[in-house]
Amino acid sequence: MQGRRRSLNPVRVVQGLWHHRDLIRQMVNREISQRYRGTVLGFAWSLIVPLTSLAIYTFVFSGIFRSNWRPGIQNSTGDYALTLFAGLTAFNVLAETLSRAPNLVLASPNLVKKVVFPLEILPVVQLGATLATTAISLVALLVVNGVLTRTVSATLWLLPLTFVPLVLLALGISWFFASLGVYVRDLGQGVGLLTQVLLFLSPVMYPTTAIPEAFRVWFNLNPLTSILNDFRATLLWGQVLDWPLWMVWFVVSALVAWLGYAWFIKTKPGFADVM
């Protein structure tokens, strides 16, 4: 029991993941190569898919619904596309990580049988591969923004901080879903529906100012609202983070990550029996 308590110490959790950093790096590289193995375009698909979604959403929401991101400022189609692409880039980190989480352990029965293998790194590996492909979209976004606006955001250096709550949140929920997916096989279908709901209940395709005042308080309880706003503010608009709100969501997401890890460690001994 004492050993289990020590292993759930947040500092020990970080130390344990750092101890397996070489294994994590090797598995991330393998995961990326396996995703695009046998395809003609290979790694380019990580850019083609979000760009295609961007074109569709830009046409619908900017061309048909005439959405405007920043009241009082006339937004061009290019401005809208950049703002939307930024939201999709950040949102896809969470959506892709969660959609793959329920099958992480199920897809690796050979690893479950290896007593010494640290199964808890599987969600970390998945998240690492997702962040690697996200980096490509982010570079493309920076290039297009530079070409269209001929400027670079003065607060771009704060961008990595906007990813911290997002990464912790994605990792914590991924640990929880990866474990629960072993016992509840329907979870994969449910998570697919959840990501669709999150897409429309988060300010990905519309600004928070478009949310009716009566519902805005509920939308603000969604951590993605603050994360996406900070992401766009630092990347595109040269604005600093909302530090008090960022700190709140950092603490919440860190707690989610710790609880997800604790749940995974607690339920891990039963994986072999179920599989």
Q: For 126-158, write each residue's pLDDT tens digit.
A: 999 999 888 888 888 888 788 777 888 899 999
Q: Report yes or no: 114 and 177 within 8 Å, Cβ to Cβ.
A: no
Q: Report yes or no: 150 and 222 within 8 Å, Cβ to Cβ.
A: no
Pick 147 or 217 by higher pLDDT: 217
Average model confidence (pLDDT) for the chain? 85
Q: Which of 2-11, 15-24, 133-142, 209-218 has the highest mean pLDDT?
A: 15-24
Q: According to the model, what pLDDT value does residue 63 have?
A: 61
Average of pLDDT values for 89-104? 93
The string of DSSP letters for 98-167 reads HHHGGGTTTT-HHHHT-TTS-GGGHHHHHHHHHHHHHHHHHHHHHHHHHHHHS---TTGGGHHHHHHHHH
Q: Report yes or no: 97 and 112 within 8 Å, Cβ to Cβ.
A: no
pLDDT-derived band at 40, boundaries 50, 70, 90: low
What are the residue boundaries of the structural domains of the chain, listed by start? Answer: 20-274
* 102, pLDDT greater than 90: yes
Q: According to the model, what pLDDT value does residue 33 have?
A: 81
CA distance 267 to 265: 6
CA distance 127 to 143: 24
% of the chain at pLDDT higher than 90? 44
CA distance 196 to 89: 15
The dihedral over CA atoms of 170, 175, 179, 180, expressed in degrees to the nearest 10, equals: -40
Q: According to the model, what pLDDT value does residue 160 have?
A: 94
The dihedral over CA atoms of 121, 123, 126, 127, expressed in degrees to the nearest 10, equals: -110
pTM of the complete model? 0.88
Q: Report yes or no: 109 and 217 within 8 Å, Cβ to Cβ.
A: no
CA distance 272 to 275: 5
* 74, pLDDT greater than 60: no
